[in-house]
Structure formats: structure tokens, C-alpha cells
Structure 1
Amino acid sequence: MTVQREAPSPDEAGAARLPLVIRALGVVERAGNALPHPFWLFWILSAVLAVVSAVLAGLDVSVVSPADHKTVVVQNLLSGDGLAMAVSTMVSNFAEFPPMATIVVVIMGVAVAERSGFLSAAMKVGVARVPASWVVFAVAFAGTVAHVASAAAYIILVPLGGLAFRAVGRSPILGIVVAYTSIASGYDASPVPTPNDAIFAGITTAAAKIAGGDDAYVSPLSNWFFNIASSLLLATVITLVTRWVLAKRPDLDPDPDADAEDLGTLHLSERERSALRRALLALGGGLVLVVAALAPTSSPLRGAGGSIVESPFIDGIAAVVAVLFALTGIVYGARSGSIAKPGDVPKLMAAGVKQMAPVLVLFFAIAQFLAYFDWTHIGDVLAVRAAELLEHSGMPIVVVFLLILLLLTVVNVMVTSGSAMWALAAPVLVPMLMLAHVPAETTQALFRIADSGSTAITPMSPYFVMALGFLQRYRKDAGIGTLAAYTLPLAIAMTAAWTLLFLAWWALGIPLGPGAPVR
């Protein structure tokens, strides 16, 4: 007599495969929760910096700057001069923090496009009008483009991913996973300039000045070429891993009583479609005007010798991006009815800036820490000593890249704020690698990979919890381990492929962006 063994349920099978992942995520969550808020973390680090500067100054620690061959001595932040500097420059540190004005300008423009409904409508059309065979790539690529909406990308696209997959007869659970992972683990890869580009460029500029002097400057478009290629690569990787791995899972069917009607719809009304067409025409017209203004070699928007790379246009690219987004939002809102009168536009801008208030508060603490770090010259000492160590060790620069990437990827699991993590790492890594003849733009491109790859698997991200909430609309018993199990194969494959792209980019010497050589 043959006794047939009952097959394990999908939940039991998943639990059997993932106990280690679930336990590891639990450890990460508990350790991360023990960390202070990033605002207080930077003040704590400032206090630690002050003590360390006092010790090093007492030991007369100094280095010879490779830039001008002058001796640089560590200054004591706890001295009278240090206290006077800290008090007298607190306001100017914040006001002159490189990303501050740029991010506010960009957000005002993006807020009009997002809150008028334009970005949501564009995403709906982008994922709804594709064949079933292309839906994975469409949602994944939309996830990289959605970063222009910053955090709103999660709110808009994650539920739309589920709806798009369900509309073509595929698992909505898979749609939510693809949408969330494409945003989270591809957050710093976008073919369209985003607010993050402005933030990172500002922090990188401040760090580059440690080794390159006050003239050092990193443009928000410094990684643009690399970002375009990265977004296409990551969307392709997500498509392949979804098809070859995730689609074969046995637990993709939603609960029989799942009711996801409140997640929205892919349908646009006739008025919304008309508004979207007009907004896209306005965007196209705006781009034509920009090109026409840049076309003459004598254009005032060009730089010396007719240069576009070093020009007023590139210097003011944040304002150009903001105006284009605001234009599309105004045209869309005027037609759809979300903008009834001119006075509504500044209200939408104000709402966008209000949404960024937590980031601006964090910038205050970061600005002080970076100013203190620069004044003490500890960054110079670390950069020079680390560069000397690299030179004497004979370690290939590619190995250094991989070690940095591994370190930052682990840190990203705990510190999910990209601006906070880059503010910690940039003052050391950027000047250190600049002294090893690696441009600041290249170090920033490397950071993008680490800042994104592990984001989709860490429960420390508030958007992980948000995505889990959307997932539970279709599968009520889903937990942290469930979502991590879905996202882990994607996150690993995306990080590996992105790293290989970076190494190939470095080996071939392709510029990372306008006027930004990779080496």
C-alpha cells in the first residue's frame, strides 16, 4: 500500500526555506531600532568628533597636503577657536549647505507635477498600455523613472504594480513585489534627474573641497549617463529574475476573499486623458525651447568657447528641471480640474516643501557636522593617510571599490536614509579616492549602488512596511519574512549586475555624465 504524503502548503514551504532570513531580519530590525534618529545621530557624532579632535590636536597630528604641499594640522573643536567657529557659523553652515537651495527649488516644481495628478496619470498610462509579455519590464522601468516623485513613488506605483499585473491575468502579489523592489533597490538609478541627484551632488561637492579646494564642484547631472544605463539594466534584470525565479513560486495566488478595490484603478477618465496629452505636449514644447536656446554657439546659456558642459545652463539645471515639472503640472491640473486658479500653484509648491520638512531638519544637523569635520582637518588627515595606505598596499583599485561597496551595503541595511549615509561616508571616501586619482563623481556613482541594493530587504525602511501593507491586501498572512523572501533574489541580482556595470564603465573609461570622466 502506497501512502501519499500530503504536499506542504505554500506558507509551510516558505517557512521551511526562510528561517535564517527571517531571523536575520529580526536581528536587523532590533539593532536598527536601537539607533537614534539620524538628526540626533549627527549631533552625537559631532560630540565624538570634538573629543577626537582634541586628542589628535594634543598629539600634534598633521599631514602634508598633496594639493599644495602645505602642512595641515588637526584643530581642536573643544578649544576657544572651535567654540567660536561652531557658534558663529551655525546659521551660515545651514544656509550655505550645498543641497539646501537646490533641493527646495526642485521639490517646488516636482510637487506641482505630483500633486496635480500628472505623475500618477503618467505612471498609470505607462504600465497599463503594454502587452502582457512586457508588463514586468514596464513596471520595473516605471519604478526607476518614478524616483522623480521621491517618496511619493512608493505610494503611487506599488499599488499600481499590483493592479497592472492583475489586469493582464498575472499575480498582483508579483506586481507589488516588482514595483516595490524596482523603486527601493533601484532608487538611485533614474533616467530622469531627481531630487536625490541634487542632494548627492551637494554633499559630494562639500566632500570634494577637502581634497580639491574651494573650486571643486559636482553637478546634479554628474552621473546622468550612468543612471540611464543603470535604469535599463536593472529593469532587464528584474524582468529576467521575475520570469526565471519568482514566477515559479507556488505562493503567488491571492486570498480568495482579497478585496483590493481601495488600491485604486488604472483607468483614466476622458478628462484626465485629455489633460495628460496637453501636459505632455507642454513638456515637449518646453524641451524644444530649451534646445533652441542652447543651439546657438553664442547662446548666453553656454559657457566659455560655447561649452555646454561648463555653462550657466548646467549650473542652473535644477531650476530648469523644476520649471519643466511645474509647467506639466500646471497644464495637467488646469485641464483636469485639480488646479482651479493660479493661487493653487504656490499652495501645491508649499505642500511639497512641507513634505520635505523632515529632510530639511536633518540637513541642519548634517550641515553642522560637515562644517565641524572640515574645520578640524580630520578629513584631510584620514584622506591622506588612507590614500598612502592604498598606495603602499598595492591593492588594485577595483578591489578597493568592491570593499567600499560591501561596507556601504551593510551600513545601508541599518541607515536607510541615503542623504544621511552619504553625509557620513563622503567626507572620508571622496577625498581619499580623489588622492588616489579617482574623481568624486565616480565615488558617488559607486555609492548609488550601495545605497539602493539592500533597501528592498531591510525592515528598517518605512517603505518596506508600506509595501507589506499593500501586499497584505492580497495575502493577509504575509509578514516581514514573506516580503523579504520575494525581494531578496531581486535585490541580490540587481546589486551584482549593477556592480558589474560600474566595473565595465570604469574599465572602458566612459564618462559618467556631462563633463564627468569616470577616471
Structure 2
Amino acid sequence: MTTDAQLAGPTPPRTRMTAFLARVERVGNRLPHPFWLFWVLFVLLAVASAVLSAAGVSVADPATGDAVTVRNALSADSIRELVSGTQESYLAFGPVGTVLITMLGLAVADRSGLLEAVVRRSLARVRPGWVVFAVCIVGAMSKILEYSAYVVVIPLAAIAFRQVGRSPMLGMIVAFLSINAAGDANPFIAPGDVIFADIATQAARIVDPSAVVRPTDNTYFTTVSALVLAGVLTLVTERVLARREHELVPDPGATGPSVAPRLDISEAVEKRALRATGLVAVAFLGSLVLAMVPAGSPLRGEDGGILESTLFSGIAVFISLFFFCVGATFAQLTGQLRGSADLPLFMADGLRSVAPLLVLFFAISQFLALFSWTGISTVVAVNGADVLERLDAPIFVVLMMLIGGIALLNLLITSGSALWALLASVIIPMTQLIGANPATVMAVYRIADSCTNSITPMSSTFILTVGYLQTYRKSAGIGTLVSYTLPAALAMLVAWTALFALWYAVGLPLGPGAPVR
């Protein structure tokens, strides 16, 4: 664990960029924790509802045409209704169930050591010429581990770089960039994708009660993006960052971060377990495909459809089952399971790891419930859409403006799900009314949210990475990391935006049944 003593170090030379980031850090530090930020917004929203209600503000509901008048949240009857609905608002908040269900299975795969073994072996014997690209790909794929990706991949990337005679500190920086900036460009359906889709669905239903945003709605785009961003990061690393690689020299005697000890299993046992687990993974996915073949399959929709089906609507359940099966297989074959009773313990341990997220979701759910209940969400959406229509700007231009605005805001609020919950409830309904697909807005958010996380000291993972760098060189600091991440993050932001522009111009679908426009 990174200590305060580790993070302390000589002040890096002050540049315009470090001065700017220092101001960002000071402003960000004045913001409350996202949990309290949503409660502050809750209070402000309640007061605003009383003022707007007294003024008789109303708009036409875009879904029904009926008049929607702002309701006063501070009246006695309203307070009774809102307090009585607190529990329902929390439990009905889509991401709560998604996180709990997904983590039940993912925890088994994580606690069994399977995920760490896959990442470790992926980087163990990489050829020197491919080490950068390999770290980029593994970093992007490992985002499925959520925060654990940083703890697992960054130290292993340092080892991989050192094994081929390159700076382990550069390996850490490349891993950090790939997890942070390219992590939302992941071909796999990760827990974060399901959370994003749930939040987007709730926001889209402000305008269209039947709207559904699926976790797979950005899959085509993110799969291609993963390869493009890995290529861009590799190019920037080799052509730009490598020119300063000679500056990333560890202190004499520095050993680097301690990598989590391997499980007490032999190389041969682990290999056999991984092969068998791979076969289980293929069998599981193959069974899903075969189960979808019959037109009357229970995994299909009521009308036999595939997109609107049990498989897609319940994707969190199938993700959980997949990781449960492969994790349990690996744990059994490596001798970690003393009995079936161990599996619930793995699952309980995984749920403890997401407790902070569940606490944050309570605040978010109450804010969003009030936002919808008061009718202010509809008022904001309709009036915002009117402003956009008066600007007469093409939807594409509006989307580009969103990328720039969100990227700047992300310097201060670095929690992806919290910022998305805050913004989605406004920008999705507003852009829906001018013809934008919610799945397209979600793709735009991914672009803006990812890249700037790599240059802001407000990010906990940024500070974690500084701590990792200081295990090699004590003088490394915020300025050190920013000087290497800035050119790469900006290059990936530009490249990803350009890819989206091309995608939009051609009109390719973002995912199954998800048109870009």
C-alpha cells in the first residue's frame, strides 16, 4: 500500500502545465466527496423545485404531450412521499443490482487467482519488439478487474519492460495509460458497461418510457477502439516517450513495487488449470450460442428476437455465471477449494470490495429520483433541446462540444459512474429531443471520460501510480507522471475523437441494433 511517506518527494520543476494542474487540484480539493456532492445537489434541487413550482413553470411532456408542472419537494405531502419512497428509489436504481449480481461471480474469478494468472502469463514472455503493444492490450482488457487492474497490471508491466531491457518506470506509465485511457475501449462486456447502460436507460426514459440502452450498444465501437488506441499509445510511446526513456532510471538499489505473491501452486499445476479453465470458458460461451439458436429459446425475446432478449436484458446474470464457472474451475484444479462452502466466502469477499460504490449509489439514486419526481428533469431536457434547436447546430457538432466539456469536467470529478450519473440525466434527454441516440451519447462520454483521467492529480489511481514510480525513484512526483502521460493522453483523445467522427460519417452501428445516428 502506498503511504504518505512514499508519496512525499522533491517538488518537480514548475511548468505551465504543472501550474495548471496544481490549480485543478486546489479547486478539486474544495469539492466534497461525490457522496456529499450528490446530497448538496439534492438540497439545491429541492429548493429549486419550490421556487420553480411557485413560479408555475411547466413544459409539454415530449412523450405524451401533457403539461408537466414542477412539483414542490419541500411541501409536507411531498416530503412524506419522498421519504416513503427512499428504499424503493435505491433498490430500483439499476446499477445497484447490476453491481451485486456481477460481483458475485467476478469475485470468485478474482479471489481464485485466475485473473491475476492470466494477466501475469500474458506479459511473461513477450518479445522485446512487442512489449509496449502487449502492455497496451493487456491494460485495456484488464479494465474488467476494475480498480484491481492498477494493482495487478502496473507492477507486472514494470517487470515485463525490465525483462526486455527497458525502463520499468516507462512500463508502469504505459500500463497506467492503457488502463485509464483505453480501458473504456474494451471488447469485453465489463461490469462498468452494464452500469453505464443502466444509468443511460434511466436517463433516456425521461423522454421515452420504453427506451432501453443495452451494455452491448457500444461493443462494435469499443472493440475497434481498443485496437486503435493500443496502436496510438504504442506509436506515441516509441516515437515520443522513448526519447526520454533514459531519464527514467531507477535509483541505485531500487527494487520496485512488491508484486502480490503467487499462489502456492506449481507451474505445471497452474498451466493445467488454465488449460482446463479455458475449455470451460469456451464450453460456457458455446452453450450460450447454441441455446440462442432455437426460435423458441427462453434466452430469446418473447417474439423470438435476439436484441430484445433474456440474454441481453439479463447480461449481468450471464457475466456473473461465466466468471463463477471459470473461477470455481481454476480454484478447484489449483487446490484452493476445501469444499463448496468456500465459494460463498469468495463471493462475500467480493461484495465487501464494492461497498464504497454501493454507498455512493445511495446518494446518486436519491438525487436522480428527486430530479425525475419534481419534473425538473423534463423541464431541463425540453428547454435545453430548445436552446440547441435555436443554435441550429448539427448533432455531430453538439456531440463534439460534449466531448470537450466532459473532458474538462472530468479533471475535477474523476469517478466515471458518478459523473455519468450526473450528466446522463441531463445530456441524454436533451440530445434525444434533437434526434441523438442515447447509445451514441454514451459512446461520446466514454471518449471524454477516459483520457483526461491520466493527467489529473484528482484521480486516486494517478496518485497510486506516482507511488509506484517512487518505489523505483524517490524523486518522482506528479510532474514526472504528467510530463509522460500528457502527450499520450492528448494523442489518444484526438485519435479516439477522430475515429468517432469517421464512424459517425460512415454511419456504422455502434453495437448490435445500436445505430450511431
Q: What is the TM-score of this pair, normalised by structure 2?
A: 0.94
Q: Aligned in 2, Cα 1:377/1:470: closer, same or farther, shift over 3 Å?
A: same
Q: Show the 5 A alignment for 1:507-518.
A: 507-518=505-516
Q: What is the Cα deviation at residue 84 of structure 1? A: 2.0
User: More displaced, 38-47 or 294-303?
Assistant: 294-303
Q: Show the 5 A alignment for 1:90-489.
A: 90-213=86-209, 215-249=210-244, 250-260=246-256, 262-263=258-259, 269-489=267-487
Distance in 1 between the 2:48 and 2:296 partners?
A: 53
* 2:286 partner letter: V
User: What is the RMSD of the two structures over their aligned residues, measured on CA atoms?
Assistant: 1.9
Distance in 2 between the 1:339 and 1:470 partners?
A: 33
Q: What is the Cα deviation at residue 233 of structure 1? A: 1.2
User: Is the Cα contact below 8 Å between 1:163 and 1:265 reproduced in 2?
Assistant: no
User: Is the Cα contact below 8 Å between 2:469 and 2:476 reproduced in 1?
Assistant: yes
User: Is the Cα contact below 8 Å between 1:163 and 1:266 reproduced in 2?
Assistant: no
* 1:236 partner letter: G
Q: What is the Cα deviation at residue 454 of structure 1? A: 0.5
Distance in 2 between the 1:473 and 1:273 partners?
A: 31
User: More displaced, 41-50 or 77-86?
Assistant: 77-86
User: Is the Cα contact below 8 Å between 1:25 and 1:481 reproduced in 2?
Assistant: no
User: Is the Cα contact below 8 Å between 1:310 and 1:515 reproduced in 2?
Assistant: no
Q: What is the Cα deviation at residue 305 of structure 1? A: 4.5
* 2:55 partner letter: L
Q: What is the Cα deviation at residue 264 of structure 1? A: 5.5
Distance in 2 between the 1:263 and 1:330 partners?
A: 24
Distance in 1 between the 2:449 and 2:269 partners?
A: 40
Q: What is the Cα deviation at residue 209 of structure 1? A: 0.9
Q: Counterpart in 2 of 1:8?
A: none
Distance in 2 between the 1:264 and 1:474 partners?
A: 17
* 1:309 partner letter: L
1:8-43 per-position Cα deviation (integer Å, ceiling 9, x unaligned) = xxx99x966x61222222222222111111111111
The DSSP-based 3-state class of the residue aligned with 1:511 is coil
Matched, 1:51 2:54: no
Q: What is the Cα deviation at residue 49 of structure 1? A: 0.3
Distance in 1 between the 2:423 and 2:257 partners?
A: 44
* 2:315 partner letter: I
The DSSP-based 3-state class of the residue aligned with 1:263 is coil
Q: What is the Cα deviation at residue 46 of structure 1? A: 0.5
Distance in 2 between the 1:378 and 1:345 partners?
A: 46
1:56-89 per-position Cα deviation (integer Å, ceiling 9, x unaligned) = 1111111122322221111111123321221110
Alignment equivalent of 2:29, drawn from 20, 26, 33: 33
User: Is the Cα contact below 8 Å between 1:471 and 1:478 reproduced in 2?
Assistant: yes
Distance in 2 between the 1:45 and 1:273 partners?
A: 52
User: More displaced, 503-512 or 132-141?
Assistant: 503-512
Q: What is the Cα deviation at residue 338 of structure 1? A: 3.0
1:260-304 per-position Cα deviation (integer Å, ceiling 9, x unaligned) = 372358997222222211211111111111111112233221124
Distance in 2 between the 1:232 and 1:367 partners?
A: 35
* 2:223 partner letter: I
User: Is the Cα contact below 8 Å between 1:113 and 1:330 reproduced in 2?
Assistant: yes
The DSSP-based 3-state class of the residue aligned with 1:63 is strand
* 2:26 partner letter: R
Distance in 1 between the 2:261 and 2:33 partners?
A: 36
1:118-152 per-position Cα deviation (integer Å, ceiling 9, x unaligned) = 00110112122322111111111111110111111
User: Is the Cα contact below 8 Å between 1:160 and 1:264 reproduced in 2?
Assistant: no
Distance in 1 between the 2:122 and 2:132 partners?
A: 12
The DSSP-based 3-state class of the residue aligned with 2:212 is coil
The DSSP-based 3-state class of the residue aligned with 1:337 is coil
Unaligned ranges ≥5, structure 2: 1-8
1:161-219 per-position Cα deviation (integer Å, ceiling 9, x unaligned) = 10111111111111100001111122322111111111111111111111112x22211
User: Is the Cα contact below 8 Å between 1:197 and 1:220 reproduced in 2?
Assistant: yes
User: Is the Cα contact below 8 Å between 1:93 and 1:368 reproduced in 2?
Assistant: yes
* 2:436 partner letter: V
Distance in 2 between the 1:167 and 1:191 partners?
A: 28
Q: What is the TM-score of this pair, normalised by structure 1?
A: 0.94
Q: Counterpart in 2 of 1:22?
A: 18
Q: What is the Cα deviation at residue 154 of structure 1? A: 0.6
